[in-house]
Amino acid sequence: MGLAVNGCEEEAIELFSRLESSKFIPDGVSFLGVLTSCNHFGMVEKARHYFSKMTRIYKIEPSIEHYSSMVDVLGRAGLLEDAEELIDNMPEAIKERLSMKEQKIEKEPGCSLIEVDGEVHEFIAGGRLHQKAPEIYSLLDELGFMMPEME
């Protein structure tokens, strides 16, 4: 994904091909990266190929981001009817999320509460405002639950 959004589309597609030929299985993020690369390169047929492969071969359910990327690549190529057909065939929840995105309506982030030693702690998805966030994320990092941040 990092290669795809930083102007290294060819390298991203090559890396994805190497991933597929290895013992590892591509996931939704891998497919989003290769679809983004195809979008930047204007490679409509290759994007269709990967989108189809993602659902048929790897049984990955496309997310709003996958659909958005496909609609974008089709729209940029002037294939507006194809883009509209793809939108019409999206699952109901995805259509609603896309509509929210177009209207710049943001979904309320998820929230969890936990009680420790009689004190209730609230955690918001993606949030780092908790008073002990640095300690928590440091421990998660040590345990290997955090992805390394790109420099």
Please report, for the chain, the start and end positions of each structural domain, with discontinuous segments joined by +: 2-102, 111-143
Instruction: Output the pLDDT for position 78.
Output: 94
What one-letter code names the amino acid at 34? V
User: Which residue, chain included where needed, has tokens 């497919």?
Assistant: 31
Instruction: Divide the 151 residues of the chain into consecutive groups of 10 and give the mean pLDDT of each group.
Output: 83 91 91 92 94 95 91 94 90 73 72 78 68 73 60 40
Instruction: Output the pLDDT for position 44.
Output: 96
Does domain 2-102 correspond to CATH entry 1.25.40?
A: yes
**94 token code pair:** 């995805």
Distance, C-alpha 57 to centroid of its chain: 19
**103 token code pair:** 């209207």
| 114 CB-near residues (< 8 Å, 6+ apart) | 120, 121, 123
Instruction: Output the pLDDT for position 149.
Output: 52
Instruction: Output the pLDDT for position 108.
Output: 66
pTM: 0.62
What one-letter code names the amino acid at 73? V
- d(CA 103, CA 5) in angstroms, rounded, equals 24
